[in-house]
């Protein structure tokens, strides 16, 4: 391979060069075709005879041998060749945080918050493990990494995070100073106590990890660059003024302020920091993990492979609901909530402040309309239609709830639960276009039909909102809905598009969910026991629609299937003694309803001249399911299958 072997390792190429050592990509061959590629580290030749460097290298090897954790680079071998020491380590395919920050900044592609939180949480897991290491007698080693810098946080091409370079790590048995009195560590990534040469603890690593966290979000080093003395002074004073000037979410700033506290005892532990990062991701619905990291690395060109544009469902998240007291304190109030910046004028009073999602909910419920005066923080009251972020809602025909909408209604009637089957059947049978209004007091619902198919349903009941349906059906977590609601303005007020855009739903999942929601909203109408209905012809919703799949008549079948037997019995009572027969050529063929076999068998018992009462009596005698006969008979009589 062109270079002199080091012990049993063939050298492929040099991977990195540091101040004290160099790292190679190497390969060890074994019997029967065995081969293992590693990262081989050795002291630079000019320092190979320096006792201090040699001692540190040996200490690193001994310490690294103790570290067995998925977020720590593993050490496989330690040896000597030609009087030079070498260390064989896990070869990590990927990049590091330093390159990610620099490349992302150069390409003007900021590191997303969820990716930064994930990287910090995984690094904190490595530190938590190392901080709790014990010696052979079970005594704590007092481990401090002392070099938690962007270059030492490796990012694999599979989206995993690994901490490396324990060359200057401190344990109880090791002195944090060299004989010349210099404190080791990278400029810009030290703690105040490290800069001042004071005793260090595990909280020093939390400080430096916090500075890396801030750098990922800011796109530049937290303590700046330039003259070394200026940087060291800013670290000594824990001067995080640059953080407060950056566009970092306030809840995350709270966490960073805790990590970057000048007093070590006021900082969270690595465990608490990891818990907090995972909890923020959980509350914000950011449970993407490795997949999101890989996607970013590919997007900025740090690992090979294209970027798929299809968002995927987040991976399952470990339950972190049981937090330590410190972690719970840090995330108190954290959540992806939209700021409460709106006030609504109602008669002589003002209601507010309220968030954007809450205001939208009031519009969809009919409490606020286009003429209602709304004030945004810092502004004056003006009609809702004058606020661009509300335009989509206050101008939507489907979301208006005015009495004049039912003027010119073609038909009207009283709502009596399952009796709504008759009017809906006629709309479906005749392939009508229009809107069916339902109202009872302040409660409203509108079902829009095109070619006899229900394609859009508007409701004033918040329980019927798409977000509520997604939670109830298990497609989304409550926190994911809250995050999407907070970002509604960015997605034109459409929560479905927000969920897809955030990678929480695939487009096909959204399509299916909306299809189900429309169906459920229609079926809910059959539970109204009082109120009125009116059908207005030739009216369109002008909303993006997803017509219900299958034949239009299966909706009626499902409505009857859900009806209580007592309701069906009461509905059939007036026809109890009426002679009934099967219609030879019904207006809609029986197969269009896709009825269960038991229903079909029940209808088959209808004979010329028999009555509904006699048919039900025979069903009891024959052992047939009486309720299924009720359902089949009611559906048949209301849809022209039975006359």
Q: Which residues pair with 153 in a beta bridge?
A: 163
The two tokens of residue 192 are 């105040």
* DSSP string of 315-378, one letter each residue: PP-----S--HHHHHHTTT-S-PPPEEEEEEETTEEEEEEEHHHHHHHHHTTSS-TTSEEEETT
Contact 367, 377 (CB under 8 A): no
Give the whole-angstrom CA distance, residue 172 versus residue 387: 63
Instruction: Give the separation between CA 68 and CA 189, rounded to whole angstroms.
Output: 25
Closest CA to 144 of 180, 172, 177: 172
Question: Tokens 């030739």 map to which residue?
Answer: 538
CB 569 within 8 A of CB 630: yes
Report the alpha-carbon distance of residue 258 to residue 213 in Å, rounded. 12
Residue 104 tokens read as: 């992302």
- 8 A C-beta contact, residue 35 and residue 29: yes
Give me the torsion for CA of 232, 234, 237, 242, rounded to 10°. Answer: -150
CA–CA distance, 627 with 604 (Å, rounded to integer): 15
Nearest Cα to 269, choosing from 123, 127, 66? 127
Please tell me the distance from the alpha carbon of residue 19 to that of residue 184, in angstroms, as a whole number.
Answer: 12
Q: Which residues pair with 13 in a beta bridge?
A: 25
Distant-in-sequence, close-in-space partners of 595: CB < 8 Å, separation ≥ 6: 557, 603, 632, 635
Name residues whose C-beta falls within 8 Å of residue 13's C-beta, 6 or more positions apart in sequence: 24, 25
Q: Is the Cβ–Cβ distance between 442 and 452 less than 8 Å?
A: no
> H or E stretch including 532?
strand 532-537
- The closest alpha carbon to 382, from 351, 338, 343, belongs to 343
What is the edge-to-edge ordering of all strands in the sheet holding 153-156?
94-96, 153-156, 161-163
Cα 7 to Cα 10: distance, rounded to the nearest angstrom? 8
**CB distance 155 to 298 below 8 Å:** no
Active site residue 147: yes
CB-CB contact of 515 with 546 (8 Å): yes
Q: Where are the beta strands (DSSP E) in 237-299?
A: none
Read off φ and ψ for residue 188, nearest 5 degrees. 95, -15
Beta pairing partners, 253: none
Residues 50, 52, 59, 147: which is the catalytic one? 147
Q: How far apart are CA 22 and CA 15, in angstroms?
A: 8
Residues with catalytic roles: 147
């Amino acid at each position: 391979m062109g270079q002199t072997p080091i012990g049993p390792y063939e050298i492929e190429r040099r991977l990195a060069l540091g101040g004290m050592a160099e790292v190679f990509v190497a390969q060890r061959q074994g019997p029967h075709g065995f081969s293992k590629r590693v990262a081989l580290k050795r002291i630079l030749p000019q320092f190979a005879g320096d006792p201090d460097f040699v001692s540190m290298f040996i200490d690193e090897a001994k310490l690294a041998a103790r570290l067995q954790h998925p977020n720590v680079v593993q050490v496989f071998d330690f040896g000597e060749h030609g009087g030079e020491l070498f260390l064989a380590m896990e070869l990590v395919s990927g990049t590091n945080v330093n390159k990610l920050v620099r490349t992302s900044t150069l390409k003007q592609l900021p590191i997303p918050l969820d990716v930064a939180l994930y990287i910090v949480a995984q690094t904190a897991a490595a530190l938590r493990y190392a901080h709790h290491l014990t010696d052979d007698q079970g005594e704590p080693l007092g481990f401090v990494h002392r070099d938690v810098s962007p270059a030492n946080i490796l990012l694999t091409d599979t989206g995993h995070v690994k901490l490396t370079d324990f060359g200057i790590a401190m344990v109880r048995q090791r002195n944090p100073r060299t004989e010349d009195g210099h404190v080791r560590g990278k400029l810009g990534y030290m703690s105040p106590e490290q800069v001042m040469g004071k005793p260090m603890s595990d909280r020093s690593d939390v400080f430096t990890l916090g500075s890396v966290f801030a750098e990922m979000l800011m796109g530049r080093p937290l303590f700046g660059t330039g003259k070394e003395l200026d940087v060291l002074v800013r670290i000594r004073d824990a001067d995080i003024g640059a953080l407060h000037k950056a566009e970092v979410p306030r809840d995350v700033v709270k966490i960073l302020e805790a990590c970057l506290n000048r007093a070590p005892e006021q900082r969270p532990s690595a465990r608490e920091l990891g818990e907090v990062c995972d909890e923020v991701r959980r509350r914000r619905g950011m449970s993407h993990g490795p997949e999101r990291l890989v996607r970013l690395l590919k997007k900025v060109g740090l690992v090979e492979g294209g970027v798929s544009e299809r968002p995927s469902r987040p991976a399952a998240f470990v339950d972190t609901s049981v937090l330590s007291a410190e972690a719970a304190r840090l995330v108190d109030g954290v959540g992806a909530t939209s700021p409460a910046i709106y006030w609504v004028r109602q008669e002589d009073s003002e209601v507010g402040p309220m968030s954007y999602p809450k205001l939208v909910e009031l519009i969809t419920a009919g409490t606020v309309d286009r003429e209602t005066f709304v004030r945004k923080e810092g502004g004056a009251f003006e009609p809702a239609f004058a606020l661009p972020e509300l335009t989509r809602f206050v101008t939507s025909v489907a979301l208006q709830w005015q009495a004049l909408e039912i003027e010119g209604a073609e038909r009207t009637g009283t709502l009596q639960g399952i009796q709504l089957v008759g009017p809906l059947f006629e709309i479906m049978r005749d392939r009508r276009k229009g809107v069916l209004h339902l109202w009872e007091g302040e409660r409203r619902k509108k079902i829009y039909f095109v070619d006899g198919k229900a394609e859009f349903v508007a409701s004033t009941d918040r329980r019927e909102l798409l977000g509520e349906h997604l939670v109830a059906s298990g497609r989304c977590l409550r926190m994911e809905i809250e995050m999407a609601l907070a970002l509604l303005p960015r997605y034109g007020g459409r929560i479905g598009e927000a969920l897809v855009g955030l990678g929480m739903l695939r487009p096909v999942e959204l399509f299916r969910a909306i299809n189900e929601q429309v169906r459920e909203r229609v079926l809910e109408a059959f539970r109204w026991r009082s109120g009125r209905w009116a059908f207005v012809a030739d009216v369109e919703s002008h909303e993006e629609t997803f017509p219900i799949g299958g034949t239009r008549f299966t909706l009626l079948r499902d409505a009857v299937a859900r009806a209580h037997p007592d309701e069906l019995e009461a509905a059939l009572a007036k026809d109890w003694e009426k002679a009934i027969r099967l219609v030879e050529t019904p207006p809609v063929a029986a197969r269009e309803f896709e009825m269960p076999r038991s229903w079909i068998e029940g209808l088959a018992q209808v004979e010329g001249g028999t009555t509904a009462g006699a048919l039900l009596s025979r069903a009891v005698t024959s052992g047939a399911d009486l309720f299924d006969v009720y359902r089949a008979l009611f559906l048949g009589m209301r849809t022209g299958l039975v006359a």
